[in-house]
A and B are shown apart, each in its own frame.
Chain A
Amino acid sequence: MTPLETEALLLSLRVAGWSVLLNLPLGLAAAWALARLRFPGKFLFDGIVHLPLIVPPVVIGYLLLVGLGRNGWIGSWLHDVFGLTLTFSWRGAAVASAVMSFPLMVRAIRLSIEAVDRRLEQAARTLGASPPWVFATVTLPLIVPGLITGTILAFARSLGEFGATITFVSNIPGETRTLPLALYTLVQAPDGEAAAARIVVISVALALGALILSEFLARKSRTGEESE
């Protein structure tokens, strides 16, 4: 692999990895709220969570730029207090990927939570367990397949994220030029077909790898449950 490809691949993995790490706790919380809680404005919250799924990615990227850019509402605060700049940085790329893949994570985990037999949880409560303990020892193990599915979906979505990334953090080699952005750049260059084809092969191999891993993990967690 050429240096450009290695750089894009490693950057893609890093951005997608951090995006998933960001999304896991937030996604779990949001999925729990949507599955178990009843609160005013729940419908609106559900809509906002699913917005990145239906709104064009460039729009999300632009909104991120307005809000989290150097001079955005939250962005200027981040810059002044933490010295953190998200634009032109892989951190911004990770945030963009996280936002775009959030709905997928939430949906997968929410389905899993809704499928949990409440009576098991209630039984644990009658045996004296506190709600956090019930969650940690009864609910969480039961929703592991949903967590895995959500993680893999979010990871795969982050690997393929383009529109929001290029709008929010631009196309900086080594910082934000992930595999899709590298492919886009090569497609614009004259006679970049050969190099572009190589990136396509790498991307497809990566995606297949992620799928196989998710199948493996899902199967393992299922046999784990059956043997108990």
Chain B
Amino acid sequence: MPARRLFFGVIVASFAVAAGAVAAAPTRVSVYAAASLTDVMRAIDAEAKAQGKPACICVHAATSVLARQIERGAPADIFISANPQWMAYVVHKLKLRQGPRLFAGNRLVLIAPASQPLDFDFGSGRSLAKVLDGGWLALADPDHVPAGIYAMKGLQHLGQWEALAGRVARAQNVRAALALVTRKEARAGVVYESDAISEKRVNMVDFFPEGSHPEVQYMAAALNDTPSPQVADYLDFLTSPPVAAMLSAHGLRPPGN
């Protein structure tokens, strides 16, 4: 029947157009990066495009979530984790032989809403739980998110963790923890310095003392032992001086500092 032929013709034509569109699309580099790198990756992407490099498909979530997705075959070219352990997990599961590179560092900071300042510092030895006075402390989930793991280790080292049990609000990632403090749902929170300076509605109360938790290290790696020239080039770009300058501007610590 002519109507049926026309219908099938339209279906086939639309597939052809779609296939053509996909084939003609410029290649982009797929970067799976920790949630805390959302702002700086946007700046890096703009700089990359200015230098004629491919744009990135930047996927941000908790490092743990991304690692599990990559393990199950997510199409990522580059992975940037917020701690070495999750990178080691991915390297092990994907059987990579290339070692990861240090991408950046960061600092852990206690924050409170700007309109409800908190009078506390870690050096005084006072109990944070008492100062919170029943309020909630927002963290990224310490069970699996690096920001939460660092925070828990820091608080345990400072002897504050036990008293805080039951008043810890576990967020899906460090940005969600930041949002809880911004919205004043939580009385205080522990996030990275880079997150704290990106949000005007929260103030930094005090940094975690040096040595109270393992050093925050972001690791970057290509997820293929033989990456395409574009991906290898992008990875080199990520560890180049112009990017290091952008890291500083966003509150992160460039590698080698």
Q: Which residues of A contact B (CB under 8 A)?
A: 65, 69-71, 87-88, 166, 170-174, 185, 187-190
Is B89 interfacial (CB-CB < 8 Å)? yes
Q: Number of residue pairs across A and B with beta carbons under 8 Å?
A: 47
20 CB contacts below 8 A, A to B, read A65-B185, A69-B183, A70-B185, A71-B184, A71-B185, A87-B185, A88-B136, A88-B185, A166-B172, A170-B169, A170-B171, A171-B172, A172-B169, A172-B170, A185-B141, A188-B143, A188-B145, A189-B143, A190-B67, A190-B89
Please tell me which one of the listed residues B64, B184, B185 contacts residue A188 in the complex, with CB atoms under 8 A apart.
Answer: B64
Task: Give bound CA distance, A172 to B165, whole Å.
Answer: 11
In the complex, B62 has a CB within 8 A of chain A: yes
Question: Given A69-B183, A70-B184, A71-B183, does the pair A189, B144 have CB atoms closer than 8 Å?
Answer: yes
Q: Tell me, yes or no, whether B49 is within 8 Å of chain A by CB.
A: no
Across the two chains, which residue of chain B brings its CB closest to A69?
A: B185
CB distance from A155 to the nearest CB of B (A): 26
Residue-wise, chain B 57-73 has the 8 Å CB interface mask toward A (1 for contact) of: 00000101101100000
State whether the Cβ of B76 lies closer than 8 Å to any Cβ in chain A.
no
The CA-CA distance from A171 to B173 in the complex, in Å, is 11
Q: How far is the CA of A166 from the CA of B169 in the complex (A)?
A: 11
CB neighbours (8 Å) of A173 from chain B are 170
Complex CA distance for A69 and B183, rounded to whole angstroms: 9
Answer yes or no: B180 CB below 8 A from chain A CBs: yes
Q: Which residues of A contact B144 (CB under 8 A)?
A: 185, 188-190
Extra contacts, 4 of them, besides A88-B185, A173-B170 (Cβ < 8 A), are: A172-B169, A188-B68, A190-B64, A190-B67
On whether the beta carbons of B185 and A171 are closer than 8 Å, the reply is: no
A166 to B172, CA, bound (A): 8
In angstroms, Cα B167 to Cα A170, docked, is: 12
Give the shortest distance, in Å, between B84 (CB) and chain A (any CB). Answer: 13
Complex: chain B residue closest to A174, CB-CB: B166
CA distance A190 to B93 in the complex (A): 11
Are B68 and A187 interface neighbours, CB within 8 A?
A: yes
CA of A87 to CA of B141, assembled, Å: 17
The contact string, 1 if C-beta is below 8 Å from chain A, for chain B 157-189, is 000000000101111100000001001110000
> In the complex, what distance in Å separates the CA atom of A185 from the CA atom of B65?
10
Q: Is the CB of B141 within 8 A of A171?
A: yes
Closest partner residue, chain A, to B63 (CB atom): A188
List of A residues within 8 angstroms of B136 by Cβ: 88
Option from B89, B141, B166, B183 in Cβ contact (under 8 Å) with A65:
B183
In the complex, A166 Cα to B185 Cα: how many Å? Answer: 14
B residues less than 8 Å from A185 (CB atoms): 141, 143-144
In the complex formed, the residue of B with least CB distance to A187 is: B68
Is A170 a contact partner of B170 (Cβ separation < 8 A)? yes
Tell me the complex Cα distance, A188–B170, Å. Answer: 13
What residues on A are CB-neighbors of B168 within 8 Å? Answer: 172
Complex: A10 Cα to B68 Cα, angstroms = 28
Give the distance in Å from the alpha carbon of A88 to the alpha carbon of B184 in the complex. 13
In whole angstroms, how far apart are the Cα atoms of A190 and B145 in the complex? 11
| Residue in contact with A171 in the complex, picked from B65, B67, B68, B170, CB distance below 8 Å | B170
B185 touches A189 (CB 8 A): no
Closest chain A residue, CB of each to CB of B186: A88
Q: For the complex, give the distance between the alpha carbons of A170 and B183 in Å.
A: 13
Most B-side CB within 10 Å, residue of A65, A185, A188: A188
Q: B residues 23-76 with Cβ under 8 Å of A?
A: 62, 64-65, 67-68
Q: Which residues of B contact A71 (CB under 8 A)?
A: 183-185
Pairwise interchain contact A170-B184, C-beta atoms closer than 8 A: no
Q: Are A188 and B89 also in contact (CB < 8 A) when A88-B185, A171-B170 are? A: no
Complex Cα distance A166/B173, Å? 12
Give min CB distance, A182 to chain B, whole Å: 11
| A170 with B180: CB separation less than 8 A | yes
Complex interface: chain A residues within 8 A of B184 (CB): 70-71
